Structures are given as structure tokens and as C-alpha cells.
Amino acid sequence: MKTIAFTIDGFEFREERSRSILEVALEKGIYIPHLCYHEDLKPAPACRLCLVEVNGRLMTACNTMVREGMRIKTETDVIDQTRRLIVELLLVNHERNCLECNQSTLCKLQKAANYIGVDEKRLARLRADRHAKPIDRSNPFFDFNPNKCVLCGICVRTCDEIAAVHAIDFANRGFSTQISTFDDNRFVDSRCATCGECLMRCPTGALTIKEKRGISKEVETICPYCGCGCGLFLGIRGNRIISVRGNHDNPVNEGQLCVKGRFGLTFPNHPDRLRTPLIRKNGRLEPTSWDEALALAGSRLKEFRGDQFALLASAKCTNEENYVLQKFTRAVMGTNNIDHCARL
């Protein structure tokens, strides 16, 4: 098979197919600063941070495909000056409370600024009067801080290309440009499906989970809710589930999750979760053994055979468990009064 030969910073590489310069460079361990690029989305050269020199011309690496004989340079004086100015302009009115930010150490703007180097004196000359915009905390699972937004557009493209909800877009023009829902409503009042896909891709701390904590390990598993079988990585700390992210290698969901899969797995550690069977005695629910609880349930079920009985199955059960439940309802209890929460 014919390969494409090209050089990056003097090192020769060969590829079997044409891919973007940025994609190839990152795969080869060559860091090119970038903000608006994400491997799950179509390239949209908005931030201009990924500028490289190709055969003497400046081009954006995220949407320029490698070609035979290309001589690519990722570092020159012109590139360094251009990137530095871009980062400085982004940081001029950007909130600087990095230690308090949920995205600290994960922020791509922070990484780019550290890589390029930022002169605080130059920033002081550029810094203008900043008018803080209100933070949208209306959604029960995440916050939107427009003061940390760099208008990369990743959240907009994610909502359009992946979630296909179209809940957010660019609003206004010039210095007043911002990410907004329709009619500038709060997220909770918009058509946002709270899938969290934009949160997972936001390069800064503009979109963050409300309570984010560090994890000690990750465990690969399957979402317990519906029968789709979406792959998950659960972030564990102690014996608690701290975070959830989709498994990109799972062929079912390819890393995507719905609101239940991403934010609905806190119930194992909920303080109100039952940990032992309860039986009502003298008007109060008292802890008891499984043997006593099952014996009581069996004796009472005999009194309600037929249409007096109804069963509500749960999406937290497996498909096999739900099959047994409906079989028990129809064959043993003699009724078709059965429903499932996933039907709603």
C-alpha cells in the first residue's frame, strides 16, 4: 500500500491515509496547542492556536490534511508570537481562580498558557475593565460560567453533531458574543437534555459538574438502567462512585451517555437506600431478616392473586430479571397488570 511521506519538525513520518496534521502530531507525541479541536467533532478552526508552518505558509493544523512531501514546522518565531498573542487575548478577561476551578490541571487553556508562557506585565497592560456575567446554576447537575468561556464552540458543535438537540448557540456579536440558550433562558428552562456531552468536551471551566472530586481509580462496567448496554467508566474514591464517563471503545454508545447514565448513578451511596428488609409492626417499619420478609411476602401475595395485583418493574434490573418479573406476574399471579419505568 502506498504511504504518504512528510516531515514534522525535521522528523520523517509515513501514513497510510491522509489525516489532519494535528491528529497525526498528537498521536506521535508532538504537542500543538489547541482549544477548539476535539477528536469526536468535525474540525472548525476557530481558536487559531494550532497554527503550524507548512512549506513556508502558516496553516491551521486541525483542518489541514497531511500530503506527500509536506515540511511541517510546529515552532517558529512567527508561530510563537501569534500563539502568545492569542492566549493573552483569551486570558485578558478570563477568570484567574484556577486553584478553585473544577477543571484545574485538566484545562486546555491552562495547558496552552503554561506551554507558550505568559508575561503578567503584558497581561496587565492589556487587561480591560471586566464585567462579570452571572453564572447559570439552574441545572441540577452542572453549572455554566460564561466568564470562563473562550467561545471555542465545542459545546455548540457537540449539541448539534452528537446530541442533535441544538439547545445552545452563539448569540450577539463582537465583544458581546456569548454562548446562550434560545432567548437567553436558563439551562433548566431550555431544551437542554442534560446529557452532559458538552461538559465532557469543554476545554475550560465554563461547563463543569457541580460537585467534582478527585478519584482514586476507575472501574469499567455497563450502565444498569435500560437494555442498551452502554459502556461506563466509574470513578471510585473509597467505596463511593464519584464520577461517570462513557467508554469510547464500547460499540453500543461509543462514549456517549444519557442523563441517567451520566448523572443517575449516585443511588448506591444514597443515605436513604434500604440496606435490610423492613416489616411493619405496630404501625412502624422494623428491620428484619430476609427469611422472615420473604415468608411474609409469600403468604400475603396469595391473598391478592388476579387483577388485585400489579407489578412495576425497574430499569435498574437486568433484562433477565425483568423477564422473570413479568413471567411471575402472568403465570403465578394470574394477571397482566405489569408496567416498566422505561416505557414512560
Look at residue 267 in the predicted model and tell me its pLDDT: 85
Asked if the structure places residue 196 within a domain, the reply is yes
Q: What angle do CA 343, 266, 278 make, to 5 degrees?
A: 80
Q: Are residues 24 and 83 in the same domain?
A: yes
Q: Are residues 126 and 198 in the same domain?
A: yes
Q: What is the pLDDT along the chain (344 residues), one digit of tens a residue?
A: 688 999 999 999 999 888 999 999 999 999 999 999 999 999 999 999 999 999 999 999 999 999 999 999 999 999 999 999 999 989 888 887 888 888 888 899 999 999 998 877 777 777 666 678 899 999 999 999 999 999 999 999 999 999 999 999 999 998 889 999 999 999 999 999 999 999 999 999 999 998 888 889 999 999 988 778 899 999 999 888 999 999 999 999 999 999 999 999 888 888 888 889 999 988 899 999 999 999 998 888 888 889 999 999 887 677 898 899 999 999 999 999 999 877 65
Look at residue 1 in the predicted model and tell me its pLDDT: 63
Asked if the structure places residue 241 within a domain, the reply is no
Q: 263 near 294, Cβ under 8 Å?
A: no
Cα–Cα distance between 119 and 107 in angstroms, integer?
19
Q: Are residues 94 and 35 in the same domain?
A: yes
DSSP label of 329: I
Number of domains comprising the chain:
3
Q: Of 212, 238, 255, at which residue does a domain stop?
A: 212
Show the 3-state SS of 57-106. EEEECCCCECCCCCEEECCCHHHHHHHHHHHHHHHHCCCCCHHHCCCCCC
Cα–Cα distance between 287 and 269 in angstroms, integer?
19
Closest CA to 231 of 247, 208, 251: 247
Which set of grid coordinates corresponds to residue 252?
453500543
- For residue 300, give Cα distances in angstroms to 164, 199, 206, 258, 289: 49, 49, 55, 39, 17
- For residue 179, give Cα distances in angstroms to 40, 44, 192: 20, 16, 13
Q: Are residues 35 and 90 in the same domain?
A: yes
Q: What is the CATH number of the domain that holds 142?
A: 3.30.70.20
To the nearest 10 degrees (0 to 180), the angle between helices 77-92 and 108-116 is: 130
Q: 216 near 236, Cβ under 8 Å?
A: yes
Per the structure, the complete domain to which residue 42 belongs is given by 4-100+108-115
Q: What angle do CA 205, 207, 212 make, to 5 degrees?
A: 75
DSSP strands (E only) in the chain:
4-8, 11-15, 51-54, 57-60, 71-73, 142-144, 168-171, 178-181, 207-209, 217-222, 231-237, 240-246, 278-281, 284-287, 311-313, 338-340
Q: Of 212, 238, 253, at which residue does a domain stop?
A: 212
Closest CA to 14 of 67, 73, 62, 74: 67
Q: Are residues 15 and 93 in the same domain?
A: yes
Asked if the structure places residue 71 within a domain, the reply is yes
Main-chain dihedrals φ then ψ at residue 271, nearest 5 degrees:
-65, -20
Q: Of 54, 89, 115, at which residue does a domain stop?
A: 115
Look at residue 105 in the predicted model and tell me its pLDDT: 85
Look at residue 127 in the predicted model and tell me its pLDDT: 65
Q: Are residues 90 and 163 in the same domain?
A: no
CA 92 to chain centre: 27
Asked if the structure places residue 284 within a domain, the reply is no
Q: Are residues 137 and 95 in the same domain?
A: no
CB contact burial 150-168 (16+ within 10 A = b; e otherwise): bbbbbbbbbbbebbebebb
Cα–Cα distance between 239 and 272 in angstroms, integer?
17
Asked if the structure places residue 286 within a domain, the reply is no
Cα–Cα distance between 190 and 202 in angstroms, integer?
19
Q: What is the CATH number of the domain that holds 58?
A: 3.10.20.740
Asked if the structure places residue 236 within a domain, the reply is no
Main-chain dihedrals φ then ψ at residue 222, nearest 5 degrees:
-115, 140
Q: Are residues 176 and 129 in the same domain?
A: yes
Q: 6 near 16, Cβ under 8 Å?
A: no
Q: 203 near 101, Cβ under 8 Å?
A: no
Main-chain dihedrals φ then ψ at residue 281, nearest 5 degrees:
-130, 125
Q: Are residues 162 and 197 in the same domain?
A: yes
Asked if the structure places residue 281 within a domain, the reply is no
Asked if the structure places residue 254 within a domain, the reply is no
Q: Are residues 80 and 122 in the same domain?
A: no
Q: Are residues 78 and 124 in the same domain?
A: no
Q: Are residues 190 and 149 in the same domain?
A: yes
